[in-house]
Amino acid sequence: MFFITQVYDDPYLVALMPDQGLEIRDIETQSVKQVVPAPEPPSERPNKPRRGLAWNPQRHMVPSTQLVDALQLVPVPLIR
């Protein structure tokens, strides 16, 4: 099965699968170490699939729309 996107985190490769679950493989043996089933989609976006992963040194993150109403635009000054 093909994946949507992947993140390398030594010694693992984490892939976001078409069913929205995560598949974690050992990079050397290529064996599946863990499969994390997809969480239920948020009620406000039931037909919008996740499209990517973000790497973080402490954990892997899957984009979510939870608490999206708490987000706000913040001006950021650019250095020129």
- For 17-60, the pLDDT digits (tens) are 888 888 889 989 989 998 888 777 666 666 777 777 766 666 65
Taking the whole predicted model, whether its pTM rises above 0.85 is answered as: no
At residue 31, the pLDDT reads 92
Report whether pLDDT(1) > 70. Answer: no
Q: What is the DSSP secondary-structure string of 4-46?
A: SEEEEETTEEEEE-TTS-EEEEETTT--EEEEEPPPPPPTT-T
